[in-house]
Amino acid sequence: MFRDKSLKMSLPKAKTLYGVTVKKLTVAKFLQAIQLTEGLPELVLDRLFPGKSAMDILAMLSDAKKETLLGIASRFLFSAPEEIAGILSSLLDIPAERLLDPECKDGLRPSELAEILVAFYEANDLSDFFGNVRRLKELGAQNFGFNAGLPSAKA
């Protein structure tokens, strides 16, 4: 059976940091991550700015001073720890207790988690993916009828 050597060469090697194996996401894992993060922005904004509308928040942020922004950033870290830890746990295959349980023997320190997240980002840089999706959409609109249901330019 013929095997394409370039496939093996193009696969990045997994990297293990602090007992966590960092590797490229599969499409299924990527889609799972998107589903997990779906309600997170609303949850975090509601906890950071209870009772405020999106317009109120934008108005406040447009006039915010450095001290206000620093306060918001620090509150963000504590706004939804279980949800954020759940997403990280799922993406990185880290047991949630390593992130949340203060008594966990092999719990990750913040600097260790930051190092893991940097390695994860490097292994899963999605900027090319989003650029390719954008190009496919543009090509599709021109050649593949993505504008189905819209009147043609000839009409």
Residue whose C-alpha is closest to residue 15's, from 126, 116, 113, 112: 116
Which residues, in sequence order, are bridge partners of residue 15?
A: 22
Residues paired with residue 49 on neighbouring β-strands, in sequence order: none
DSSP conformational letter for 3: -
126-130 long-range contacts (CB < 8 A, ≥24 apart) are 126/30
How far the first Cα of the chain sits from its last, in Å, is 53
What tens digit of pLDDT does each residue of 22-54 get?
888 888 887 887 787 787 778 888 888 888 888
Please check whether residue 30 is in contact with residue 90, taking contact to mean a CB–CB distance below 8 angstroms: no
Percent of the chain with pLDDT over 70: 77
Read off the pLDDT of residues 105-145 as tens digits, 9 standing for 90 and up: 999 888 888 888 888 888 877 667 767 777 887 777 665 55
